[in-house]
Structure formats: C-alpha cells, structure tokens
C-alpha cells in the first residue's frame, strides 16, 4: 500500500512541528479524533497511519495535548491500550480513565484496554 506524503514535508514524516504544517496537520488529527465514537478508542499510531504517516505517533500526541475544546482526546491511547496522560503534570491523574469508563470502556487487571474489543475501526 502506497503511503501518501505531504509536499510541505518534503516526503518525510514529521516528528514535531515543521514550519507551515502545524495548523493543517494538527487539524487533520482533530478531525480524525472527532470521528471516534463514545465507547471506542484509537491509538496514536492508528491516527498516524490514517493520516498516511505524515505525522509520527508522538506528534499526534503533541497535537492532542494542545487540542481545542470538543476534541475527544481521551479516546486516544498508546499501542498497548494503556493511558499515556497519567504522567503529564497538567492533566489530573485518573481523568482520562474516568472519562473512558463513563463511556463504557473497560480496563483489564493490568490497567490496559482490550484493543480487540474497544478499538475504533473507521
């Protein structure tokens, strides 16, 4: 499968914010994340793949860390089905988990989400 690359990025995957690409690239992340329905999750890597790998999974995380209101950032987890926000100083501990649980997402004994069961497939 051919991967699309932005001409702005010179065909390279962006791991951070390149001049002129952030608003359009980050908005593309937000549009995808807005499509994830309640009770489902996606991974940073899945969002990256759906964008043709223009942004790295890490850059997807950066985009979500500064997302506007109305973007369900809490529905994006790491590739293991674990939460990556617990170590961030500006997000209260347990917030993402509580938001997901309120939508019906269950956590296993190892504090991960079963991606086979809860992963969003567009």
Predicted pLDDT of residue 101:
98
Predicted pLDDT of residue 87:
79
Q: Look-up: residue for tokens 């359009």? A: 24
Tally Cβ neighbours within 10 Å of residue 56.
16
* Angular region, 58: left φ>0, alpha ψ -120 to 50, beta rest: alpha
Predicted pLDDT of residue 4:
37
Distances (CA, A) of 44 to 7, 49, 94: 22, 9, 19
Contact 41, 120 (CB under 8 A): yes
Q: Helix 22-34 to helix 57-65 angle, to the nearest 10 degrees?
A: 80
Read off the DSSP letter of residue 77: E
Ranges under pLDDT 70 in the chain: 1-23
Contact 86, 93 (CB under 8 A): yes
Predicted pLDDT of residue 24:
86
Which DSSP string corresponds to 33-60?
A: HHTSPTT-BEEHHHHHHHTTTSB-HHHH
Q: How confident is the model over 45-74, as pLDDT tens digits?
A: 999 999 999 999 999 999 999 899 999 999
What predicted TM-score, i.e. pTM, was given to this entire model?
0.81
């Amino acid at each position: 499968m051919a991967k699309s690359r932005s001409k702005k990025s010179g065909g390279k995957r962006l791991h951070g914010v390149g001049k002129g690409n952030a608003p359009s690239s980050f908005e593309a992340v937000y549009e995808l994340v807005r499509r994830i329905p309640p009770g489902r999750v996606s991974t940073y890597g899945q969002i990256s793949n759906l964008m043709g790998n223009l942004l790295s999974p890490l850059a997807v995380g950066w985009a979500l860390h500064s997302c506007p209101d109305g973007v369900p950032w809490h529905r994006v987890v790491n590739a293991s089905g674990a939460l990556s926000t617990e170590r961030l100083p500006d997000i209260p501990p347990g917030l993402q988990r509580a938001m997901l649980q309120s939508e019906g997402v269950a956590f296993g004994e190892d504090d991960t989400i079963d991606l086979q069961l809860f992963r969003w497939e567009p």
